Amino acid sequence: MRINHKQQQLMDELLEKVKLRYPEIVFKDLQFSPDDPEQIWINVVADMDEDKEIEMRSYSASLETDILLGYGYAISIMPENPNRVFA
């Protein structure tokens, strides 16, 4: 996985901002999107209810859009909820 200094800085800032608002998230790992090797996924464990997860996704999407428009890097927070129940 090749990540340049600016990408690392932006990922750190993004994760820090999201964690400030949602302290229950825990960093898991990084990976590139299987569909787009230019997109970086920050995988996090998000132990929260569905409404709060939707709120967190919306908040992080706004920050991610700012990064994409400002710097051209596609970086996304990808929550994994251990409490999610699949029907």
Q: Tally the domains of the chain.
A: 1
CATH number for position 49: 3.30.300
| Residue 62 domain flag | yes
What's the Cα-to-Cα distance from 74 to each of 9, 27, 47, 81, rounded to whole Å?
Answer: 13, 18, 24, 22
pLDDT tens digit sequence for 14-70: 999 999 999 999 999 999 999 999 999 999 999 998 899 999 999 999 999 999 999
Residue 85 lies in a domain: no
Task: For 68-84, write each residue's pLDDT tens digit.
Answer: 999 999 999 999 987 76
Domain of residue 33 covers 5-80
User: Does residue 64 belong to any structural domain of this protein?
Assistant: yes
Task: Answer whether residue 45 is part of any domain.
Answer: yes
86 falls within a domain? no
Asked whether residue 17 is assigned to any structural domain, the reply reads yes
Q: What is the pTM of this model?
A: 0.90
Kind plus residue range of the DSSP H or E element containing 61? helix 50-71
Structural domain contains residue 60: yes
Asked whether the predicted pLDDT for residue 86 surpasses 90, the reply is no
